[in-house]
Structure 1
Amino acid sequence: MLTEDFIGRVVIVLVVTVLTTFGAIHLFVTFQQETSASSLAVVTRTGTIAFMVLQLVMTVWRLPPKGTARGIESRVTSVAGTFLILVAAFLIPAVDSETVQVTALCLIFVGTVSSFFCLYWLGRSFSIMATARKLVTSGPYSIVRHPLYVCEAIFVSGVIISHFSALMVALGVLQFLLQYRRAKNEEAILRQTFPEYHAYERTTPMLIPSLSSLDWR
């Protein structure tokens, strides 16, 4: 019998595969242009695709769930918060400016590398949906409760700059709001599944580190 987690995993794999393919096509088209800005846009798009592939690998590799948030809101929030700005990046043209693309590339690079680092600590407990698999409180998770979202925010900021427009900024604001709501949904199910989460929550900031939280355990 197909489980909800298996079905969710298949759907996410299909979505990421389609987006990655679509991104590769856009990458090829952008590569045909000859300006230095377009060359840098190729690199930023490559970073975006790498970020999606990373999420795909972690989705396939993850542990079975111990608890999952119920209701359509948490699922829509998780999917939209994950893919909204990535889809927008493929639909909205990149800015034809070398300075803009260099700035964007720096943020995308920092966001992608730091996300890899957070996922190393998170390991197989990673999930796109609000799901409890294993409670991780060490490494970057001893500084803030959602370091991966902080790193993703850096990545998203780079994507917004690379494709800067009023629409992209508006979508970026919506993305950040969705991610905040997604984090709250995750905390609710973690609190319900792991009794020790209450103590962790009291001693570790949500997104902005404090001086006391900088002492890694």
Structure 2
Amino acid sequence: MRAFDPFGWLEKYFSANTLHLLIRAVAVVVILAFLIHRISLYSRYLFKPLWAAETLIFVIFLISYIIRINPADRSRGVREILIPLAGAMLPFALIFSPSQNLITGQTNYAYIVFIWMTVSTALTVWGLWTLRRSFSITVEARELVTGGPYRFIRHPVYLGEMLSAAAVTIFRFSPVNVLILFLFVAIQLFRSKMEEEKLGHVLPGYIDFAAKAFWFWPGPPKHQR
């Protein structure tokens, strides 16, 4: 599984620093395009706080890739690269199912779902802002982050994303979306397990931190040090 290593293949021709700069530059261009598109959607949002929270995600992505530091241990293999990338794309598949009349036809129900989406997205925003230069879509270790929501939750970004995806699934309910939601949650949990294993091996202090913060299972055992 670890034979898949595009970065390692390209290191035969370019330095690691050059490749990291190239990844960041491409990410900045792509995210900027998404951000411009997000801004253009403002008038379509019935609940403006949700638009603001979702747009802030792209603003933080942009800042994160501009200031991001090189990893102490980069991602390698299908599990650490392709599975997280697939997980990052899955929530976008939820929007292809139409919204439910039960929700859209009842203003109170609709606003409950919108507030749910906004609060869970705000948790994601808080987690991303705390990470900033340590953010990565793939499984990588950069530096120990214990501030903000990480004081209480080991993976606040993933928790916020899973709660948001659940709200979207209710708003756009369909059997296909239920399957997408379960697959997304499974990938995020699997991804968080991989990250904990890597962070526990690479970053001093992570295991002690993980023992104090909530997740769906105990933190990595101390013998990983």
Same fold (TM over 0.5): yes
TM-score, structure 1 as length reference: 0.73
Deviates more, 1:87-96 or 1:150-159: 87-96
Contact 1:146–1:207 (CA under 8 A) maintained in structure 2: no
Contact 1:20–1:49 (CA under 8 A) maintained in structure 2: yes
Deviations 1:43-97 (CA, angstroms, capped at 9, x unpaired): 7567545534443442333222111232122111211222211x21443333341
Residue 3 (structure 2) aligns with: none
Residue 155 (structure 1) aligns with: 164
Matched, 1:94 2:95: no
Residue 183 (structure 1) aligns with: 192
Percentage of identical aligned residues: 27
Matched, 1:121 2:156: no
Change (3 A) 1:75 1:43: same
Matched, 1:5 2:15: no
Segments of structure 2 that go 5 or more residues without pairing to the other structure are: 1-13, 219-225
Matched, 1:168 2:177: yes
Amino acid at match of 2:166: S
Deviations 1:103-148 (CA, angstroms, capped at 9, x unpaired): 3211121022222222332232121111111101233212121122
Contact 1:44–1:159 (CA under 8 A) maintained in structure 2: no
Amino acid at match of 2:99: A
Segments of structure 1 that go 5 or more residues without pairing to the other structure are: 32-38, 210-217
Residue 71 (structure 1) aligns with: 77
**1: CA distance, partners of 2:173 / 2:120:** 18
Contact 2:60–2:129 (CA under 8 A) maintained in structure 1: no
Matched, 1:62 2:62: no
SS at structure 1 position matched to 2:189: helix
RMSD: 3.1
Residue 119 (structure 2) aligns with: 110
Number of equivalenced pairs:
199
TM-score, structure 2 as length reference: 0.71
Deviates more, 1:141-150 or 1:53-62: 53-62
Change (3 A) 1:173 1:11: farther
**1: CA distance, partners of 2:49 / 2:211:** 41
